[in-house]
A and B are shown apart, each in its own frame.
Chain A
Amino acid sequence: MAGELPTTDEATQDSGAAPGRRAFVTACGALAVTTLLVELGTDLEAEEQAEGPERYDPREHYYGMGIDIDKCIGCGRCVEACKAENDVPRDAHSFRTWVERYVIHADGETAVDSPSGGIEGFPEPTGEAGVLRTFFVPKLCNHCANPPCVQVCPVGATFTTEDGVVLVDEEYCIGCRYCIQACPYGARFLHPTRRTAQKCTFCYHRVVRGLVPACVEVCPTGARIFGEVHRRSSPLERFRRFNEIQVLKPHLNTDPKVFYANLDGQVR
C-alpha cells in the first residue's frame, strides 16, 4: 500500500531539480502519481492516460471547463481549494475563482453578491420576498481562445500555451496592469506582494500530471467539468453535447473556453 509512495517522492524531487522543460516534462511523465492514475483510471481520457510514462506533449491537448449552474450549491469549496492549491493571497480581493450569487426579484431587479468570493459560503439572504429566481455562478478565467489580456500585454509576460491555457510569467511581468483592464471578466488581479498579475492557470501544474484542477477535484456536486475541447471522449465534450451551452459576454468575441450550462441571461 505505502510501498509505492516513496517512488512518488523521488519523482517529485527529480522534477524539481531538472532544469530544462523537456527534461522536466520527461520526469513529470515518469511521475509515479501518473502511473498510479493510469492503473486506476480517472476522469481524464483513457487513451491519454495510456500514454502514461511518455512525455507530456501540449500539442495533443486543448483544455476547457464546463460549469453546470443547476448543480452549484454555493458551498465555496472551489474557492477554498483554489486558494490552498495555488497559494492565492487570503484577502477579499484576490481570487482566481470565486462564486457569485444572483437573486432576481419579481420586479426585475437583480441583486448580485459574492461575500469574500463565497469562500465561506453564503449567508441566507434576508427579505427573500418577491424572489423570482436565485442561483449561484462560479467564475474563473475563461481561458479565451481570443484573449484580450494576451493581446495587450506589452512585454509578452502573459501568453496562451499550445494546449490552450492562458498563463502569466511571474518572473517577466512588469506589473503594468493593462491585462487586468483588458479582461472583461475581472479574472485577474495584482498580487499584493509580488506586484505582478495573477490569474487562474487551470491548475496547469496538475493538468500536465494528469490531475484535474483543484476546484474541479473538490466540487462536491460535479458542477465543474474539466476536459478537452473537440475530443469526443472528453467529459467536457460530453457535457457540451448534452447541455445547451452559453459563454460569458459572447458579444466581445473573446471566445471563452469556460462553458456554462443553464446560464441565466442576467449573468454578466
Chain B
Amino acid sequence: MAGRSARRWVAAVPQQVRHLGAIFALLVAGLVGARQVLVPKTFGERGHYRAAAVDSIVAQEIGYAGHAACETCHPDIADKKGQSYHRGVACEVCHGPQAAHVLAPMDHKPPAPRERAYCPLCHGYNPSRPTGFPQIDPVLHNPVRPCISCHDPHDPTPPHPPESCAACHGEIARTKAISYHAELPCTQCHAVDRRHSVSPRQQRPSKPTTREFCGRCHAQDADSPPEIPRVDLASHGPGYVCWQCHYPHHPEAR
C-alpha cells in the first residue's frame, strides 16, 4: 500500500524533474565525495586553513643563530664588544648567518668583512641618517686604508682621538665649507672640551644662546670687517634667537 502510493507520488512528479533531479543528486554526491577525499586532513582544525601548514613553516631552517648563541663560545669578544659602541650590534650583522657554524664550528667558518667598502654601509655619510650617528666621508676619511687598520670592529673607538671635527661631523663640515661661514673654525662658536673627541656624548660642546653672540660680528656697531652684513639687533626679528631663522652652518639658506 505504502509502496504503491509512493510510486504514484513519484509518477506525479514530471519526468523532467525526476531525470534532472537524479543528475543533480549525482553531481552533489560527487562534490561531497570529492570533498571527503580531497580536502586536506588538517584543514579547519584551527581556522579556515591547513593546520599542517604551520608545521612546515615552523620546520624552516634557521640561518641566524642569534647573538646569545655566539656569546657562549666567544665570551671574550662578547665582553669586549659589550663595553664598546658596538654593544648593540649583533655578531651576525657583520659575520653573516651562522647557525651552521654553531652546529659545526670547525666546518663552517664565519666570514669577516675586511674591505673598506663594508663599514660605510652604516658609517658612510648620508644626510638621511639620524643626527648624531657617527658618519665619515668614505672618500676623504683616511683614504685607501681599510677601516680595521685603525678601528677594531669589536671596539671601534679609534686608538687616537680624531684630529678634526669633520671626521665625525662630516655633514656639518661640508655644509659649512660652501657657506659664507667657511672660514670660521668650529671653535669660533663652540667651546669644545678636550674629552669630547673620546666621549662625545658625555662632553658636549657648547652652543651660542644669545642674539648678542651673533651681534659680535653682525651688529651695526660690531668691531668686524666692513664686508660682513649688519643688522639692527633692536629691530631685526626681535624676540627670536638668530639660529631660529638662520642656520649658522649655512646662514644664507632659507
Chain A residues with a Cβ under 8 A of chain B: 1-2, 4-5, 8-9, 12, 15-16, 20-21, 24-25, 28, 33, 36-37, 40, 42, 70-77, 81, 84-86, 101-103, 106, 120-122, 124-125, 128, 131, 134-136, 156-162, 167, 169-172, 201, 204-206, 208-209, 211-212, 214, 217-218, 220-222
- State whether the Cβ of B90 lies closer than 8 Å to any Cβ in chain A: yes
Determine whether the beta carbon of A85 is less than 8 Å from that of B97.
yes
Determine whether the beta carbon of A218 is less than 8 Å from that of B48.
no
Supply 8 further A-B pairs (C-beta < 8 A) apart from A36-B72, A131-B127: A2-B105, A5-B103, A40-B72, A73-B129, A84-B63, A85-B97, A101-B128, A220-B90
- Partner among B49, B66, B69, B122 whose Cβ is within 8 Å of the Cβ of A156: B49
Measured CB to CB, the closest approach of chain A to B50, in angstroms, equals 5
Tell me whether A21 and B103 are in contact in the complex, defined as CB-CB below 8 angstroms, given that A77-B121, A160-B47, A214-B64 are known contacts.
Answer: no
Determine whether the beta carbon of A84 is less than 8 Å from that of B121.
no
A213 and chain B: residue at smallest CB distance: B64
Main secondary structure of the interface of A (DSSP, over half): mixed
**Complex CA–CA separation, A225 to B73 (angstroms):** 26
Determine whether the beta carbon of B73 is less than 8 Å from that of A1.
yes
Measured CB to CB, the closest approach of chain B to A224, in angstroms, equals 12
Residues of B within 8 A of A4 (CB): 72
- State whether the Cβ of B202 lies closer than 8 Å to any Cβ in chain A: no
Residues of A within 8 A of B133 (CB): 73, 221
Residues of B within 8 A of A74 (CB): 126, 128-129
Residues of A within 8 A of B105 (CB): 2, 5
Determine whether the beta carbon of A217 is less than 8 Å from that of B64.
yes
Residues of B within 8 A of A121 (CB): 120-121, 124, 126
Chain B residues with a Cβ under 8 A of chain A: 40, 42-43, 46-69, 71-73, 86, 88-90, 92-93, 96-97, 102-105, 120-122, 124-130, 133, 254
Determine whether the beta carbon of B53 is less than 8 Å from that of A171.
yes
B122 and chain A: residue at smallest CB distance: A75
Determine whether the beta carbon of A36 is less than 8 Å from that of B68.
yes
Measured CB to CB, the closest approach of chain B to A209, in angstroms, equals 7
Residues of B within 8 A of A84 (CB): 63-64, 96-97
A68 and chain B: residue at smallest CB distance: B130
Residues of B within 8 A of A40 (CB): 68, 71-72
Residues of B within 8 A of A8 (CB): 102-103
A78 and chain B: residue at smallest CB distance: B93
10 interchain pairs (CB within 8 A)? A33-B69, A33-B102, A74-B126, A159-B53, A161-B54, A170-B56, A172-B50, A204-B58, A204-B60, A217-B66
Tell me whether A218 and B92 are in contact in the complex, defined as CB-CB below 8 angstroms, given that A124-B126, A208-B58 are known contacts.
Answer: yes
Determine whether the beta carbon of B62 is less than 8 Å from that of A205.
yes
Determine whether the beta carbon of B68 is less than 8 Å from that of A9.
no
B135 and chain A: residue at smallest CB distance: A73
Residues of B within 8 A of A75 (CB): 121-122
Q: Give the most central of B51, B71, B124, B127: most A CB within 10 Å.
A: B127
A17 and chain B: residue at smallest CB distance: B59
Residues of A within 8 A of B89 (CB): 220
Measured CB to CB, the closest approach of chain B to A114, in angstroms, equals 12
Tell me whether A220 and B128 are in contact in the complex, defined as CB-CB below 8 angstroms, given that A1-B72, A204-B57 are known contacts.
Answer: no
Determine whether the beta carbon of A24 is less than 8 Å from that of B73.
no
Tell me whether A24 and B55 are in contact in the complex, defined as CB-CB below 8 angstroms, given that A86-B60, A217-B66, A220-B89 are known contacts.
Answer: yes
Residues of A within 8 A of B64 (CB): 81, 84-85, 206, 211, 214, 217-218
- Partner among A2, A20, A135, A172 whose Cβ is within 8 Å of the Cβ of B128: A135
Determine whether the beta carbon of A159 is less than 8 Å from that of B49.
yes
Measured CB to CB, the closest approach of chain A to B103, in angstroms, equals 5
Tell me whether A15 and B129 are in contact in the complex, defined as CB-CB below 8 angstroms, given that A75-B121, A169-B53 are known contacts.
Answer: no
**Complex CA–CA separation, A25 to B51 (angstroms):** 13
Determine whether the beta carbon of B54 is less than 8 Å from that of A77.
no
Determine whether the beta carbon of B127 is less than 8 Å from that of A5.
no
Residues of B within 8 A of A124 (CB): 124-127
Q: Give the most central of A75, A103, A170: most B CB within 10 Å.
A: A75
- Partner among B53, B93, B126 whose Cβ is within 8 Å of the Cβ of A172: B53
- Partner among B50, B55, B125, B130 whose Cβ is within 8 Å of the Cβ of A71: B130
